[in-house]
Structure 1
């Protein structure tokens, strides 16, 4: 039987790098009262212009139930506002409040610093190679996590 080394496997290394990045960001975002999902929703609405909960779910990579739960919590915190559609009351549009914009602006330096910590471990050529290789690994795969 051939031995399998978990710690040498590509999947383990990718997962470990991802968890390290996520945990560092989680700790920083906590100081703003945000979770990583909330941060991703703020980015989706504020930077990407997404206004539909279904589009936000796909952008963040979570299901619609989790998106609804996050939006409800964010609305209670005063970060987003939800409005019924003008022509179809069954639709919902999401927008940032001033507090949501402030939270997004406050989180950007945290996310940038987190990325810079990882980037600093690689040369520019290595970063480019890593991005290219990760793109190859994920090419053709489902974008949103619920499909996995």
Structure 2
């Protein structure tokens, strides 16, 4: 007779969620030393490294809703990390740019992000890492993107 019980700790969803939380928690603890959160880090990365300049592009890149993005941008502007200005055309569009302190924060935390990724990737062989990435891509294929409401 097969066991019909659901085993939470053996479920793929539980294991993937726990892994994501461990990776994120380790990173968040380290960037907190720089006065950043994961969301503010992602905004800096989006605007500074990815060249995204509108709130909607940034929200899509991060995977958070527009309200959470607007709140993060207001807080970051108040801290002097970004500027928000009217875009071209009718003046209703907003353009986001990094200030010198924002660029400095991005540069200070880039090595932390790279080290955090390398720390977990080093636990796998090159073949395991490639298989994990391929498997994750396969599981995400044709699935709707979830937008977080922070």
The SS at the match of 1:145 is coil
8 Å CA contact 1:53, 1:64 repeated in 2: yes
Show CA shifts across 1:50-74 (max 9, x none): 0010111111101100000000010
The SS at the match of 2:96 is strand
Of the structure 1 ranges 35-44 and 80-89, higher mean CA displacement relative to structure 2 is found in: 80-89
Superposition pairs for residues 88-127 of structure 1, below 5 Å?
Answer: 88-127=90-129
* Displaced runs of 4 or more, over 6 A: none
Scaled by the length of structure 2, the TM-score of the pair is 0.94
Of the structure 1 ranges 51-60 and 135-144, higher mean CA displacement relative to structure 2 is found in: 135-144
- Give unmatched runs, 5+ long, in structure 2: none
The SS at the match of 1:81 is strand
Deviation at residue 144 of structure 1 after TM alignment: 4.6
Distance 2:14 2:123 in 1: 19
Superposed CA RMSD: 1.4
Distance 1:103 1:146 in 2: 24
Q: In structure 2, what is the equivalent of residue 71 of structure 1? A: 73
1:17 aligns with 2:19: yes
The number of equivalent residue pairs is 147
8 Å CA contact 1:59, 1:144 repeated in 2: no
- Give unmatched runs, 5+ long, in structure 1: none
Q: In structure 2, what is the equivalent of residue 145 of structure 1? A: 147
Distance 1:125 1:13 in 2: 20
Scaled by the length of structure 1, the TM-score of the pair is 0.95
Distance 1:28 1:57 in 2: 23
The SS at the match of 2:52 is coil
1:40 aligns with 2:35: no
